[in-house]
Homo-oligomer: A and B are copies of this chain.
Amino acid sequence: MGRTTRSVNYQAPTLEDVAREAGVSRALVSLVMRQSPKVSDARRKLVLDAAARLGYRPNANARSLASRQTRVLGAVLHELHNPFYVEIHDGIAQGAADRGYRVLIGTSEPRRGEQSALETLLELRVDGLILVGSRLPTPAILAVAETTPTVVVARDIRSPLVDSIKADERAGARHVVQHLVDLGHRHITHVDGGAGAGASSRRAGYRLAMREHGLHASIVPGDYTDRAGAVAAEKLLASRRRPTAVFAANDFVAAGLMSSLAEAGLRVPDDLSVVGYDNTYLAALHHVSLTTVNQPRPAMGARAVEFLMERIDGRTSPRRERMTPTLVIRGSTAPP
């Protein structure tokens, strides 16, 4: 095997090396690499062959330093574990690829803030930024938007500096309540999502809908985790007046809830109806079969890229888009 690793102190070939190998000028190589049309096919091939021979790979740092653009979009997902965000990212990746942009996801230690992820991306001077489900304080986001085109998804920000895309959470929550009321439920409890993206709107929508139906709103605090659902279940089981239906802040909460309920011997939907939110694959599993609210995730991501492109191209007027959520009825709801 001899010299095992070239990795250490390996010197990547440069434009200049390629030019020398091909016997042409550096400028010509640069033009070829940038796919300029004003290069003869013969010389192009000459250069490309030389580059391939050397294993040349353009240095993005040098390139963006000189050109003042990176053709890279930065994405920060609040949670990599939440399939909801990941599916939004699918739309982002697709949209970006369609336009010849790359996407990099900034990450940070588990749960240690999005700020550091953001910072990395910013130092790289990405051309634009998409924040998915961000829980960053608004001022922090605005400060970023001041310097870099920014759009937020699954969160609302009212500022001319950023565009936002989210589903109409209030409407989604109202659909849920309407569905349960139609089934005959009157005692409907909401386990909320705490500070999670969209949680306050879902809570507000629930409150509003309950009032409209002349029903009493009752809210158990939680967050977007199945753990929160389990905790909430215990509270519900211990309460004097058990609801006949529970509207969980998202599918994870609902799953945690259902697990604890099952452990306690309660059956869904016979003893209690449960509704989730987000329509993740979790909800679709037959064992779970959760009635839930669907948001057009990939479409939301694709739209974010669209808005971002417009901003990169100079649009300054803000865009705020509300996508329409739909209720997906499965087996976790039934008449009381």
Chain A residues in the interface with B (C-beta under 8 A): 1, 4-8, 10, 12, 55, 57-65, 70, 72, 75, 80-81, 83, 86-87, 89-90, 93-94, 97, 102-110, 112, 116, 119-120, 122-125, 143, 145-150, 160-161, 226, 255, 258-260, 262-263, 281-282, 285-288, 311, 314, 316-318
Q: Across the interface, do B94 and A61 meet the contact criterion of CB distance under 8 Å?
A: no
Closest to A290 in B: B287
Instruction: Show 26 A/B contacts (Cβ-Cβ < 8 Å), sorted by A.
Output: A4-B316, A5-B316, A6-B146, A7-B145, A7-B149, A7-B150, A8-B149, A8-B314, A10-B146, A12-B147, A57-B119, A59-B125, A60-B61, A61-B64, A62-B65, A80-B89, A93-B107, A94-B109, A97-B109, A104-B104, A105-B107, A255-B285, A258-B286, A259-B287, A282-B285, A285-B287
Q: Across the interface, do B316 and A160 meet the contact criterion of CB distance under 8 Å?
A: no
Residues of chain B with a CB closer than 8 A to A110's CB: 90, 93-94
Residues of chain B with a CB closer than 8 A to A75's CB: 107
Closest to A128 in B: B7
Taking the closest CB of chain B, its distance from the CB of A48, in whole angstroms, is: 16
Residues of chain B with a CB closer than 8 A to A86's CB: 80-81
Q: Across the interface, do A263 and B286 meet the contact criterion of CB distance under 8 Å?
A: yes
Copies of this chain, complex-wide, total 2
Taking the closest CB of chain B, its distance from the CB of A285, in whole angstroms, is: 5
Closest to A2 in B: B160
Residues of chain B with a CB closer than 8 A to A89's CB: 80, 107
Given contacts A59-B65, A83-B81, A316-B8, contact A288 B285 (CB under 8 A): yes
Given contacts A97-B108, A110-B94, A287-B262, contact A7 B124 (CB under 8 A): no
Residues of chain B with a CB closer than 8 A to A4's CB: 160-161, 316-318
Q: Across the interface, do A58 and B123 meet the contact criterion of CB distance under 8 Å?
A: yes
Q: Across the interface, do A285 and B311 meet the contact criterion of CB distance under 8 Å?
A: no
Q: Across the interface, do B57 and A7 meet the contact criterion of CB distance under 8 Å?
A: no
Q: Across the interface, do B120 and A72 meet the contact criterion of CB distance under 8 Å?
A: yes
Closest to A9 in B: B314
Residues of chain B with a CB closer than 8 A to A260's CB: 286
A200 to B143, CA, bound (A): 50
